[in-house]
């Protein structure tokens, strides 16, 4: 079982040796390896049981390093980087040959970002290579937002877990790129569409339903609990499943259902705060997945602020 601790120098040494280390970010915990070492990258895919057609995101210490790994950055995307880095923004850009094709699943573009967590930023300053780091969970399962989540599922598949506490954002990064002069959101995430449009104007949001994704996080079924999850109007679903109330679990935005077991329901934010709901989403899904319930009922949030990104995760969790 991997050791859990806060030793940045130990983490850097292990990564330099080609080993895997779980790292904290403001979004979710990442399973990190040297992005320039194909053997380390291959170990990431093996540890997660992740298909090699699903590309990885590369993490950099700062915007100053971006031109070491990408051919160019359009002005619109540079403006986003300057506004939101370090932070939950990934840019999809034409890669240089130094980035192995395994990282990008053979595609010509690589997703890069500058994470905003003090431990990981210090770690990136210690190593002389970028880190490839998808979420530190088995492929397709709920993303981890604490060191204990990582240890529970991947503790025997990596060398060290750098413990940075609970993730502040709790949703993966927003992935943005450009095609033919149009700014495109490939994955909704921790930065809202409205924040991006304030800087670059109208954007195109791609449907996340590809079996051969152009960027990370575009698979239709993803972030899913083991239990079946049904998404819809909770009042209607409760009526539909009224004969199974003893075996139901409920995930709601801000409502509590007194007729159900308290242990079998989680409210994402009693005050209706979208940031709080985002922070709580993945840990709530994990908790309900660990109950004795046989099915999880959930509702979508209003399509404003981070509601779009939260709903994206809920839809894909229920896609099975």
Q: Is 29 annotated as a binding residue?
A: no
Q: Is 252 annotated as a binding residue?
A: no
Q: Is 143 annotated as a binding residue?
A: yes
DSSP string over 136-149: SSSTTBPPP-SHHH
- pLDDT tens-digit map of 222-261: 678 899 999 999 999 999 998 887 789 999 999 999 988 8
Q: Is 145 annotated as a binding residue?
A: no
What is the arithmetic mean of pLDDT over 186-214? Answer: 84
Residue ranges of domains in the chain, CATH in brackets = 3-171 (3.90.870.10), 229-317 (3.40.50.11030)
Q: Is 113 annotated as a binding residue?
A: yes
Q: Is 223 annotated as a binding residue?
A: yes
What is the arithmetic mean of pLDDT over 57-83? Answer: 97
DSSP state letter for 207: P
Instruction: For the chain, give the mean pLDDT.
Output: 93
Q: Which whole-number Å values give the CA distances from 267 to 170, 253, 281, 282, 287, in the listed order? A: 15, 6, 9, 12, 12
* pLDDT of res. 320: 66
Q: Is the pLDDT of residue 95 over 50?
A: yes
- pLDDT tens-digit map of 99-114: 999 999 889 999 999 9
Q: Is 241 annotated as a binding residue?
A: no
Q: Is 305 annotated as a binding residue?
A: no
Choice among 20-34, 79-93, 102-116, 242-256 with the minimum mean pLDDT: 242-256
The residue behind tokens 């990431």 is 44
């Amino acid at each position: 079982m991997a050791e859990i601790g806060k030793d940045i120098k130990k983490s850097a040494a292990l990564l330099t040796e080609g080993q895997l280390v779980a790292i904290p970010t403001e979004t979710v915990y990442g399973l990190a390896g040297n992005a320039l070492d194909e053997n380390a990258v291959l170990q990431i895919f093996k540890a997660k049981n992740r298909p090699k057609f699903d590309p990885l995101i590369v993490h950099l210490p700062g915007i100053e390093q971006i031109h070491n790994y990408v051919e160019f950055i359009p002005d619109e995307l540079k403006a986003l980087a300057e506004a939101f880095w370090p932070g939950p923004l990934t840019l999809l850009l034409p890669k240089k040959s130094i980035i192995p094709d395994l990282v990008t699943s053979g595609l010509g573009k690589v997703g890069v970002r500058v994470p905003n967590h003090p431990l990981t930023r210090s770690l990136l300053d210690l190593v002389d290579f970028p880190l490839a780091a998808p979420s530190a969970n088995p492929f397709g399962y709920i993303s981890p937002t604490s060191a204990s989540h990582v240890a529970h599922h991947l503790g025997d598949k990596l060398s060290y877990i750098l413990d940075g506490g609970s993730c502040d954002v709790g949703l993966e990064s927003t992935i943005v790129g450009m095609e033919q002069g149009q700014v495109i959101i490939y994955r909704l995430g921790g930065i809202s569409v409205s924040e991006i449009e304030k800087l670059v104007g109208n954007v195109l949001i791609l449907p996340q339903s590809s079996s051969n994704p152009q960027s990370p996080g575009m698979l239709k079924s993803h972030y899913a609990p083991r239990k079946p999850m049904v998404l819809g109007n909770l009042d209607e679903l409760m009526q539909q499943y009224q004969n199974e109330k003893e075996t139901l679990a409920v995930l709601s935005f801000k409502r509590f259902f007194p007729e159900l077991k308290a242990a079998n329901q989680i409210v994402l934010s009693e005050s209706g705060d979208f940031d709080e709901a985002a922070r709580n989403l993945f840990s709530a899904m994990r908790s309900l997945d660990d109950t004795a319930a046989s099915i999880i009922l959930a509702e979508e949030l209003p399509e404003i602020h981070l509601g779009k990104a939260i709903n994206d995760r809920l839809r894909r969790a229920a896609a099975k």
